[in-house]
């Protein structure tokens, strides 16, 4: 089992970060394979996932698999600083640059020089700082606040967000050019409810970890408790699971965790059950969704459905054409043509395109 854990830190006791991550579920295994492919490169990476899904763990793993692994890994939460301080924190400041700047101080970019800088919650950066960040990424140099001297840097930037930056761009809250600069490689982390194969391995890890801290002997998990853990929706993802296990070990008796020992919030579960019929298959959910679309009488529905299907499959396969083709049961040539028509791929205009037999019989219109 591939297990990732954060270095021990007193701050983790009150953190909302995930402190461990496994790759047992098929979705997680696909993510790990993709991560291992891109990690050795120098490309910027945008990591997308809900709070508590392990974005920092993934960023650290990318760093550890790269040629920079012996150099610093610096993690910065962009939402943890006020707008007046974030520039000085990122880029550094000189003595007297602002009230309270009693001495010069290097910023996080300088601290990470030669290594990797992880910018968590990148969507929280003010627009004014986004402009300066883009310039730093382009010029590969920083200018401290209160200085005119540029300092060259050699840093690989990994960024993470729990919001859809495309929507933030449309709302005018995030720069499109910065998005494309950061989004050279995209890693999307599934929430725990969508990767159920990871739940019990994580449960076993946290039971072992907290049992050791509490000086407990062997702790067993009752089958009913295991089922309850596997079927819960986990709105707080891995961090919520860790907290549940910690609390459970404090109250369980006789070395066995029973279903009644688990204190799970039912708020998100009830909301989930209101929208998704119980025990309904994926195809059943699709039929339900289509029925709703029919009732809404959306124009050009066939085109919308085709576009959504292809785009979702391409995203699920981490933008790999071959895997997308296999997933949809299409040939690679047909898939490539559809992706070009969808705007996901750019046409190479240096050579004339030769129509294939697959494309000639293609009757889909996207």
3-state secondary structure of 84: helix
Domains and CATH numbers, the chain: 26-189 (3.40.50.300), 197-272 (1.10.8.60), 283-360 (1.10.10)
Per-residue pLDDT of the chain (366 residues; tens, 9 = 90+): 677 777 765 444 445 567 888 899 999 999 999 999 999 999 999 999 998 999 999 999 999 999 999 999 999 998 888 877 888 999 999 988 888 888 999 999 999 999 999 999 999 999 989 999 999 999 999 999 899 899 999 999 999 998 888 888 988 889 999 999 999 999 999 999 999 999 999 999 999 999 998 888 889 999 999 999 999 999 999 999 999 999 999 998 888 999 999 988 754 434 343 444 444 456 667 777 777 777 667 777 888 888 888 888 888 777 788 878 888 888 888 888 888 888 777 666 555 555 555 544 444 444
| C-alpha span between 22 and 95 (Å, rounded) | 45
| C-alpha span between 112 and 76 (Å, rounded) | 11
344, exposed or middle or buried, with CB in 10 Å at 0-12, 13-18, 19+? middle
Give the predicted TM-score (pTM) of the model: 0.69
| C-alpha span between 158 and 56 (Å, rounded) | 9
Encoded tokens for 91: 């880029």
Q: Which helix (H) or strand (E) holds 289?
A: helix 282-296
In angstroms, how far is the first alpha carbon of the chain from the final one?
41
Residues 281-313 as b/e (b if ≥16 CB within 10 A, e otherwise) read eeeeeeeeeeeeeeeeeeeeeeeeebbeebbeb
Encoded tokens for 176: 């499109």
| C-alpha span between 203 and 146 (Å, rounded) | 50
């Amino acid at each position: 089992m591939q297990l990732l854990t954060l270095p021990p830190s007193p701050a983790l006791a009150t953190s909302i970060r995930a402190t461990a991550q496994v790759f047992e579920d098929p979705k997680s295994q696909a993510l790990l394979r993709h991560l291992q492919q891109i990690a050795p490169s120098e490309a910027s990476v945008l990591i997308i996932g809900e709070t508590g899904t392990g974005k920092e763990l993934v960023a650290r793993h990318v760093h550890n698999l790269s040629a920079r692994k012996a150099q610093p890994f610096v993690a910065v939460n962009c939402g943890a600083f006020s707008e007046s301080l974030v520039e000085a924190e990122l880029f550094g400041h000189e003595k007297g640059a602002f009230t309270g700047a009693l001495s010069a101080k290097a910023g996080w970019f300088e601290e990470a020089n030669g290594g990797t800088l992880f910018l968590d919650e990148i969507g929280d950066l003010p627009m004014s700082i986004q402009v300066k960040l883009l310039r730093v990424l382009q010029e590969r140099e920083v200018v401290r606040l209160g200085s005119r001297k540029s300092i060259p840097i050699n840093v690989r930037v990994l960024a993470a967000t729990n919001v859809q930056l495309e929507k933030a761009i449309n709302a005018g809250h995030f720069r499109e050019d910065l998005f494309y600069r950061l989004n050279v490689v995209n890693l999307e982390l599934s929430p725990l409810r969508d990767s159920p194969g990871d739940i019990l391995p994580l449960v076993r890890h946290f039971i072992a970890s907290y049992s050791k801290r509490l000086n407990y002997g062997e702790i067993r998990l009752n089958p009913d408790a295991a089922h309850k853990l596997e079927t819960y929706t986990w709105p707080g993802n891995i961090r919520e699971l860790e907290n549940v296990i910690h609390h459970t070990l404090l109250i369980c008796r006789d070395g066995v965790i029973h279903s009644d020992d688990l204190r799970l919030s039912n708020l998100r579960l009830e909301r989930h059950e209101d929208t998704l019929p119980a025990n309904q298959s994926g195809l059943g959910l699709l039929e339900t969704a289509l029925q709703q679309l029919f009732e809404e009488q959306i124009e050009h529905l066939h085109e919308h459905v085709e576009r959504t299907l292809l785009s979702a499959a391409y995203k699920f396969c981490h933008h790999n054409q071959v895997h997308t083709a296999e997933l949809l049961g299409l040939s690679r040539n047909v898939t490539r043509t559809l992706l070009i028509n969808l705007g996901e791929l750019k046409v190479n205009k240096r050579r004339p395109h030769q129509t294939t037999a697959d494309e000639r019989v293609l009757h889909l219109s996207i």
